[in-house]
Structure 1
Amino acid sequence: MSNLTQTLPRPLAPGKFQDPRVTAKGERRATVALAGLETLWFNTGTLCNITCRACYIESSPRNDALVYLTAAEVAAYLDEADGLREVGFTGGEPFMNPDMLPMLADVLARPGDLRALVLTNAMRPMTRRAAGLLALRDRFGPDRLVLRVSLDHHTAAHHDFERGEGSFVLAMEGLRWLAREGFRINVAGRASFGGEDEAAMRAGFARLFSEFAIPLDAADPVALMLFPEMDATVDVPEITEACWGILGKHPDQMMCASSRMVVKRRGAARPAVVACTLLPYDPQFELGATLAEAARPVALNHPHCAKFCVLGGAACSR
């Protein structure tokens, strides 16, 4: 069977991830308290210029389940936040949002060393904003704005299988432009995609970066982030309170201990705050309309909590 053939999903074991208080075995489910809000994410909208085969948020040119946030809405949350070190923008494709550049300017103009991170496919929605991005670089310098480019694999065949024919070439054009213009960049790929282990993936990306003069160290887990697969139908263990000691981990290491995400649902009067970037649709992870309301603990009651964060050790921030 070809490495490009998708794996058929397996159903979850009965009873798992049903009760936010206890697991299917009746054990107390792990929760994570907000230790301090360091990273505030904004989902700029689910509209995207491409449709991927396995997009966890189902972004596409037609999906506006999460509508565009406005610069005024983003500013209101930034005014409420205290002690942030980073503001992240994700989508959809963030550069499709007409207020993307004003939102970035607002973040970068605020006092202190607040950083801005944009997750982008680096294709035409971004390159159409080239003049505006260069103006931001010239106004604020290159250090506090990071563009994280999505490259599922280091070869065109695997990347295009996921994102559509020709998408690899366009993404590489955008990545090379960012590198030439001196922007801070990193890359997000998929761990084990194409049947390769992490070492092979990093070696492949190292060759790609060298070939195209991309100044990134593929061995650096921040410069090249390899994220575990996110399939909510695959059976994974539930995380209990006892797991922290068993796994040698601490709740403060989880994304929801230091971050929240703002979304705006189609038809809603105002935005809402959800627990993390991975779970924008599940109502149990919607925590309130304000950051203060969203400061409550989060029960790890979803497969993504287990596979991506606790067991996978991944985080969307740096």
Structure 2
Amino acid sequence: MLPVLLDPTKFQDALLTAKGEERAHVALRSLETLWFNTGTLCNLSCQNCYIESSPRNDRLAYLSAAEVRVYLDEIKRDGHGTKLIGFTGGEPFMNRELPAMLEDVLSRGLKAMVLTNAMKPMHRMKPALLGLLARYGRNLTVRVSVDHYDKTLHEKERGAHTWKPTIDGLVWLAQSGFDVHVAGRHFSDETDAQVRAGYARLFAALGIAIDAASPVSLVLFPEMDARVDVPEITTACWGILKKSPDSVMCASARMVVKRKGATQPAVVACTLLPYDPQFELGNTLAESVGAVRLNHPHCAKFCVLGGAACSQ
């Protein structure tokens, strides 16, 4: 059955839904997680990348370690109480300054997480990674994207010949003693329990100790397509869904990006919406503390209805 296309009258008004109801909004409870998009360039062109990363997409330029430092200093100066600094892309290991960024984060006593496909760009930085592991141990987490426990479905998304390099990287990280998590996707007809059982079999076969039953160690993201119809989230939905706005990602996180050609980075509301200008909140963390209106299909599909969060 073909999916129903999104009603074009939806997600047009930041304040009101297509039915004229008040659109839900989310206040920043506390800045627990700050993400840095290190740049949208990637060594892969996945079939359904959330932010269209590829070897040619440079819409988000490489961040520098100096630019990251400005935000880390702001966290300390303003007492944000941030616990985790995340690095995403693109492929973060394609940014040559990533090791310096990680050193800066970890030396401040903060935890760091890197999202990666664990392929060749990561392997080029093995010496730097091992040095960080020796100095900071499990304060550094590496989350590897393995879209499905089955090679065929993984390569359907990631492309031919991507399975073995990713699995090799995953095994190297685990055997080296890194804190390793895995990110998968719900794009099959299996239940959550079936998918987790499949990953458990994979991890056992590889001899790596990742708890597939843990929603932290194995994060399963819902599939998203902004063209497919989803309901708009109203203020009344919180009660109907028995869900708190505080559970949504933008209640506790922000992301820093640098647009191609920009003179300085900007802070956006969400890791999934780096291009939409309505989710750009300013150039500093202080400017980004306002409420976020859930005016995008991803807000409904991924965060509210899907219950996902990038920093789980």
Corresponding position of 2:158: 163
Residue identity over aligned pairs, in percent, reads: 65
User: Distance in 1 between the 2:269 and 2:189 partners?
Assistant: 31
Which amino acid counterpart does residue 90 of structure 2 have in structure 1? G
Corresponding position of 2:296: 302
Query: Residue 254 of structure 2 aligns to a residue in which SS?
Result: strand
Are residues 1:253 and 2:230 paired?
no
Corresponding position of 2:96: 98
Which amino acid counterpart does residue 150 of structure 2 have in structure 1? T
2:31 aligned residue (29, 37, 44):
37
How far residue 11 of structure 1 moved from its aligned partner, in angstroms, is 2.4
User: Distance in 1 between the 2:304 and 2:3 partners?
Assistant: 21
Corresponding position of 1:146: 141
CA contact (8 A) 1:47 1:60 kept: yes
Deviations 1:214-266 (A, max 9, x none): 10111111111100011111100000000111111111111101100000000
Relative distance call for 1:42 and 1:148 in structure 2 (3 A) is same
1:125 aligned residue (121, 128, 141):
121
- Alignment RMSD: 1.0
User: Distance in 2 between the 1:195 and 1:211 partners?
Assistant: 23
Corresponding position of 1:80: 74
Corresponding position of 2:130: 134
User: Distance in 1 between the 2:163 and 2:295 partners?
Assistant: 35
Q: TM-score, normalised by structure 1?
A: 0.95
CA contact (8 A) 1:190 1:229 kept: yes
Q: Could you list the runs of 5+ residues in structure 1 that have no partner in the other structure? A: 1-6
User: Distance in 2 between the 1:246 and 1:306 partners?
Assistant: 14
Matched residues, number: 308
CA contact (8 A) 1:9 1:231 kept: no
Query: Residue 138 of structure 2 aligns to a residue in which SS?
Result: coil
Corresponding position of 1:200: 194
Deviations 1:1-29 (A, max 9, x none): xxxxxx86642113100101010000000
Query: Residue 185 of structure 1 aligns to a residue in which SS?
Result: strand
Which amino acid counterpart does residue 127 of structure 1 have in structure 2? H
User: Distance in 2 between the 1:62 and 1:119 partners?
Assistant: 19
Q: TM-score, normalised by structure 2?
A: 0.97
How far residue 139 of structure 1 moved from its aligned partner, in angstroms, is 1.4
User: Distance in 2 between the 1:251 and 1:194 partners?
Assistant: 29
Corresponding position of 1:64: 58
How far residue 155 of structure 1 moved from its aligned partner, in angstroms, is 1.1
How far residue 161 of structure 1 moved from its aligned partner, in angstroms, is 1.0
Which amino acid counterpart does residue 23 of structure 1 have in structure 2? T
Corresponding position of 1:23: 17
How far residue 195 of structure 1 moved from its aligned partner, in angstroms, is 2.5
User: Distance in 1 between the 2:233 and 2:65 partners?
Assistant: 38
Are residues 1:11 and 2:9 paired?
no
Corresponding position of 1:107: 105
Query: Residue 195 of structure 1 aligns to a residue in which SS?
Result: coil
Which amino acid counterpart does residue 122 of structure 1 have in structure 2? A
User: Distance in 2 between the 1:108 and 1:315 partners?
Assistant: 22
How do residues 167-206 of structure 1 correspond to structure 2 at under 5 angstroms?
Answer: 167-191=162-186, 193-206=187-200
User: Distance in 2 between the 1:28 and 1:206 partners?
Assistant: 43
